[in-house]
C-alpha cells in the first residue's frame, strides 16, 4: 500500500507528496493532521491540509483551517484563495468572487486569475469575466486558461463567433486540448443555432483525424446532437464511446443514462444513473430521473437505501435524505418520527 511505502521518506512533506501522487488523499491528510499536533499554527501545514479537505469534501473543516491562517494574516493569498474554493464548492458564487478577488489582489498569478474568471462566470457576471480575461490577456497573451475562460464567458453572452476565436487561440497554443476541440467544433459549425446535419457532418469530419477520434468530448457533442434529434440509440452509442475514452466521467454517464431512459431500457438506465449520482450527488436532473425509475420498477425501498448511503457520505448531498424519506413513505416503511 502507498501508506507503507511513504514511511520510507524522512520528512512529512516527502510523505505527503508521495501519498498525493498515489491518490491516497486520506493518508496524506492524516500525515498533516499528525504534523499539526506539534506545529499547530504552521500556515503551510494548515493550508495544505485545507486543500486536501476540499478534495475530500470536508468543506467546513477546510474553511476553518483557512480562517485560522487569516486570523494571523488577513491578507494571506493562499488562505483567501482556499476560502474562495470552498465557497465555489458550496455554490456560494458571490462569496467565491469576493475571496478570489482578494487573493488576486495579493498575488496576481495566472492560476488565481483563471479561478477568478470562472467565479465571475458562475456568479452570472459573464461580461465582467470577459473584460477581466481581456485585460489579463493584453498583459500576457499566452495564458491558455484565460483564453478558455474568455471563450466560456463569450458563449454565455451569446457571442459564438468571439467564443470560437478564443478557443482557436487555445488550440494554437494547446492543440490537443480535448474539451476545447469539442467546443470549437460546435461553435465553428454554427453553435447552438446550427442545424443538426451540419453539426454532425462537422464533427464526423473532425473525428476522421486519428488523434481527434480519441477525444471523448467530441463524441459527447455528437451524442448530445443525436439526442436532440431523438436518435437515442445512436446517441447512446456516442456516449458509450466517450466513456470508453474517459471511463467513469459523470457527465457522460448521466447522458448515457438519459438515452437509455428514453429507450425504455429502465433497468440499464437505473444502473448507469446511480453511478452518475455517486459522482454528482447534487445533480437535480439525475435525481428526478432516478425517482421516476425507482417508481416504475417498484424499487422504492432499494432507491431509498441508495440515496441514504450517498447522503451519509457526501456533505453537499443533504437533500437526498428528503428524497429517500419520500420513497419510503410511498412503500409505507418511513419512520413516522422523521
The torsion region of residue 256 among left (phi > 0), alpha (psi -120 to 50) and beta comes to alpha
Structural contact between residues 29 and 23, judged by C-beta atoms closer than 8 angstroms: no
The residue whose grid cell reads 424499487 is 299
Average pLDDT of the chain is 89
**Selected residue with higher pLDDT from 4 and 247:** 247
| Four-residue CA torsion sign, 191, 196, 201, 204 | positive
Using 50, 70 and 90 to split pLDDT, how confident is the model at 320? confident
Q: What single string gives the DSSP state of each residue in 70-102?
A: HHH-TT-HHHHHHHHHHHHHTT-HHHHHHHHHH
Residue of 196 and 146 predicted with greater confidence? 146
Dihedral, CA of residue 216, residue 218, residue 221 and residue 222, to nearest 10: -100
Instruction: Name the more confident of 319 and 232.
Output: 232
pTM for this predicted structure:
0.66
- pLDDT on residue 5: 55
Q: Read off the pLDDT of each residue in 192-221 and give the average, rounded to a whole number.
A: 75
Q: Rounded CA gap, 242 and 196, in Å?
A: 19
- pLDDT greater than 80 at residue 176: no
Q: In the prediction, which pLDDT does 51 show?
A: 96
pLDDT tens per residue across span 60-82: 999 999 999 999 999 999 999 99
Q: How confident is the model over 268-288, as a mean pLDDT?
A: 91
**DSSP-derived 3-state class of residue 335:** coil
Categorize the per-residue pLDDT at 105 as very low, low, confident or very high, splitting at 50, 70 and 90.
Answer: very high
- Examine the pLDDT at 189 and tell me if it is beyond 90: no
Q: Report the pLDDT value the prediction gives residue 190, as an integer from 0 to 100.
A: 59
Helix or strand (DSSP H, E) at 29: helix 25-38
| pLDDT-above-90 percentage for the chain | 64
Task: Quote the CA–CA distance of 337 and 281 in Å, as a whole number.
Answer: 26
Amino acid at each position: 500500500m502507498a501508506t507503507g511505502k511513504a514511511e520510507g521518506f524522512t520528512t512529512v512533506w516527502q510523505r505527503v507528496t508521495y501519498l498525493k501522487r498515489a491518490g491516497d488523499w486520506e493518508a496524506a491528510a492524516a500525515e498533516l493532521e499528525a504534523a499539526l499536533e506539534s506545529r499547530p499554527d504552521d500556515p503551510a501545514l494548515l493550508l495544505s491540509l485545507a486543500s486536501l479537505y476540499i478534495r475530500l469534501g470536508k468543506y467546513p473543516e477546510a474553511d476553518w483551517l483557512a480562517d485560522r491562517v487569516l486570523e494571523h494574516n488577513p491578507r494571506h493569498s493562499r488562505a483567501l484563495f482556499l476560502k474562495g474554493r470552498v465557497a465555489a464548492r458550496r455554490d456560494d458564487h458571490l462569496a467565491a468572487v469576493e475571496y478570489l478577488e482578494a487573493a488576486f489582489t495579493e498575488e496576481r498569478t495566472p492560476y488565481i486569475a483563471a479561478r477568478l474568471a470562472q467565479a465571475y462566470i458562475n456568479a452570472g457576471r459573464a461580461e465582467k469575466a470577459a473584460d477581466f480575461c481581456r485585460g489579463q490577456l493584453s498583459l500576457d497573451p499566452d495564458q491558455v486558461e484565460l483564453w478558455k475562460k474568455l471563450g466560456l464567458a463569450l458563449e454565455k453572452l451569446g457571442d459564438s463567433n468571439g467564443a470560437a476565436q478564443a478557443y482557436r487561440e487555445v488550440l494554437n497554443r494547446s492543440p490537443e486540448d480535448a474539451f476545447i476541440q469539442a467546443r470549437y467544433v460546435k461553435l465553428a459549425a454554427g453553435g447552438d443555432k446550427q442545424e443538426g446535419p451540419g453539426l454532425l457532418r462537422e464533427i464526423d469530419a473532425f473525428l476522421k483525424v486519428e488523434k481527434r477520434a480519441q477525444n471523448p468530448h467530441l463524441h459527447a457533442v455528437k451524442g448530445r446532437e443525436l439526442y436532440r434529434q431523438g436518435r437515442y440509440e445512436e446517441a447512446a452509442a456516442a456516449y458509450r464511446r466517450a466513456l470508453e475514452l474517459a471511463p467513469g466521467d459523470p457527465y457522460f454517464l448521466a447522458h448515457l443514462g438519459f438515452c437509455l431512459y428514453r429507450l425504455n431500457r429502465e433497468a440499464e438506465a437505473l444502473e448507469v444513473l446511480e453511478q452518475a449520482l455517486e459522482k454528482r450527488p447534487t445533480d437535480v436532473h439525475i435525481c428526478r430521473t432516478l425517482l421516476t425509475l425507482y417508481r416504475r420498477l417498484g424499487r422504492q425501498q432499494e432507491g431509498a437505501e441508495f440515496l441514504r448511503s450517498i447522503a451519509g457520505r457526501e456533505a453537499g448531498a443533504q437533500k437526498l435524505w428528503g428524497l429517500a424519506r419520500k420513497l419510503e413513505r410511498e412503500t409505507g416503511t418511513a419512520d413516522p418520527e422523521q
